[in-house]
Structure 1
Amino acid sequence: MSALAQDLALLLLDDTSGRSTVDLGRRHRAVGSAVLLDLVRAGRVSVDRPEGDPKDARPVVLDAAPTGDATLDRALSLLTAKDRKLAWAAENVGHACWEPLMEALTDRGLVRRQEGRFLGLIRTNSWPAEDTSYEASVVARVRAAVTGEVDAAGDAGPDESTVLLVMILDGIGALPAVLPDEDPRAVSERAGRLVAAHRDHGPWAEAFKGLDSALVTVLFAG
C-alpha cells in the first residue's frame, strides 16, 4: 500500500482550500520520493548507485507484478517503461501519481474532490479536508518525532514511517507549514539529527544502500 505517500500527500494539502501548500516542483519530488520509498519497502524497487555516485543513482524494478494499489502500479509502469535517474524518476512519479493518491484519500473519506475554474476557463481540482482526525494523528506523530528525545543509535523514538515523513518534509522545507507553532530553525535542526540517527537502520536503508546526505540532496534538489 502507498501508505507513506498517502500520509505525505495529506500533509501537503491545505485543509480549507484543498490546494498544495508547496509549489508543484517540490510537491512532485516529495510525493515521488515517498512512492519510491513505499515500493522499496514493499520489495518492488531498489536503488542502484554505480560506483557509489549519488548523481548516477537509478531506481531498479525488482518485481513489476500488479500490487493492487493504483498509485504503486502507476509508478511501476513508469519505472519499467524508461530508465531514469533517481531525481528525474521521483519528479515524474510524483506528477503521475498525484491523481491516484487523491482518489485513494477520497475513497478513505479524508478529503473530497472540489471542481472549479481558473479565470472561468481552465478546469481545476482541489481536495479540501473531509475528516481531519487521521491527519491530526499523523501531525502528532511528526511533532513528537522532532520534539522528543532519540538516542544516538536510533533505537528509541518514532517508527520508520514517521522518520521517513520527517526526512521528506524537511528535505523540501515543508516542516514549518506542518508544525506552524514550532520554531522553524529548531525543528529543522532536530529533524536533521533524527534522520541521521535512523539512517542506517531498517529495510529502507538497506535497499537504498545507506541513504546518505548526498542522495537526499539529489532527491530534493531544485
Structure 2
Amino acid sequence: MREVTSQDYFEPVTLKDIEEAYERVKGVVKNTPLERSSSISELSGAEVYLKLENLQRGGSFKIRGAYNLLSRTRKNVVAASAGNHSQGVALASSLLGLDSLVVMPQFAPPIKMIATQKYGARVLLYGNSFDEATEKAKKIAKDEKKVFAHAFDNRYVVAGQGTVGLEIFQVMNDFDYIIVPVGGGGLIGGIATYLKENGYRGKVIGVEAENACSYEKLP
C-alpha cells in the first residue's frame, strides 16, 4: 500500500473508502445496536429507530474516523477539539501505539480534557476560540512532522464516520428518512455518501443546534 499523503485527505469520499474503512475499524469499534424507541415512536406517530453510538468506545462515533485515518498513516498525531473528537483521537492513538497531542481552546470543558488525558493524549490549552486552537495544532503538526487529524475536513475521517451508515444498512434499508446530527458535517457526509451510493432513495436530514447552526445559514 502506498503512503498516504496530505493531498489524499481532500479527495472526495467514495463508497470504496467507506467499505475499506469498515474493514479497518471492524473489531476495534463496536457495531452499536439499532433499536426501536417506543417512546419517540409513540410521540411522533412513526416507527423510529436509534443507532446507539452513545454506547461506542470513547462515548461517540468519533473513534471511527480517527482510527480509520491513523491506521492508515501510522504516524504520531496532533488534533484540535473541545469535545468528542479529542477522545476519539486519543483512544485510537493509544490502540495503535501512537503519540497524540490535542490542542483545546481555553474554554474547553474540564470533563472533556480529563477524559482525553485518560485515553492517553497530552492536552495543550491554547487560544480563546476553536479557530485559534486549530491553527496552533496545524503549526505543531507541520513543525514536528506529525499528522494533523481534522475533526471533519478529512477524507478518511469522513469515510470512518460513514461506517455508521453501512451498519444501519446491514440491518435496515427500507426506511423513509434518516436524521443525523450536524456539527462539522463529517458524520452526515459519510452516511449520506454510503446510502446514496447504495441506491437509497429516501431523505437524509441534518439537524443542528439553533444557536450553533453552521450550515442552515449558508447562502
Q: Check whether TM > 0.5.
A: no
More helix by share: 1
Structure of higher RCO (CA pairs closer than 8 Å, 6+ residues apart): 1
TM-score normalised by L of structure 2: 0.29
TM-score normalised by L of structure 1: 0.29
